[in-house]
Amino acid sequence: MAMGSTSSFWEGGRMTLVETFSGLPDSRRGPAKRYVLMEMVVMALCAILCGADHWVEVADWCRDRQQCLRERFGWSLKGGTPSHDPFGDLFRVLDAKGFEERFRQWIAGVVGVVDGVAAFDGKTLRGSGKKGSNELLHLVTAYVVENGKVAAASGSMQAYRQFNDTLASGLTSAISW
């Protein structure tokens, strides 16, 4: 599936995380492909959205909820869930632009465009990129005051700006970074 156009995976409706990341290009080779890419991305996002700050916490969250992940998503997880190293390795080589594009589309489908005041908070996920690079993974959470919706976006600072644009039609933003 080509990443040049969002229409190849986004038809304008609400998509699940599994649907959103199913066609994400996988550049991993050999033993690095032990775990399914889409499952790892969805597990990592769920863990991060539940408060995991680094890959060890992501791996712990997934291990502790292995049965729930099997039941909720219908995954076999025959080899269990990944440890922190496969998560870190995956997100170092993951197509950041493709990931960001798909994640923003998913957020737009969940939250849509809202009016009112939104409070933003952001953090950088430790160990998510090479030291000194611009490839670090950031998590931005927005709380829309009027309707109580909470949204989160992961990606680069550019992703934050685009995430803000997605939500910002008529919004007043309070940003904590």
The residues, any chain, with a CB within 8 Å of residue 60's CB and separated by 6 or more, are: 52
Cα–Cα distance, 167 to 177 (Å, whole number): 17
Residue scoring higher pLDDT (134 or 91): 91
Where in the chain is CATH 3.30.720?
A: 98-176
3-state class (DSSP) for residue 3: coil
Residue 114 has a pLDDT of 57
Q: Span 128-150, mean pLDDT?
A: 65
pTM value is 0.62
Architecture of domain 98-176: 2-Layer Sandwich (3.30)
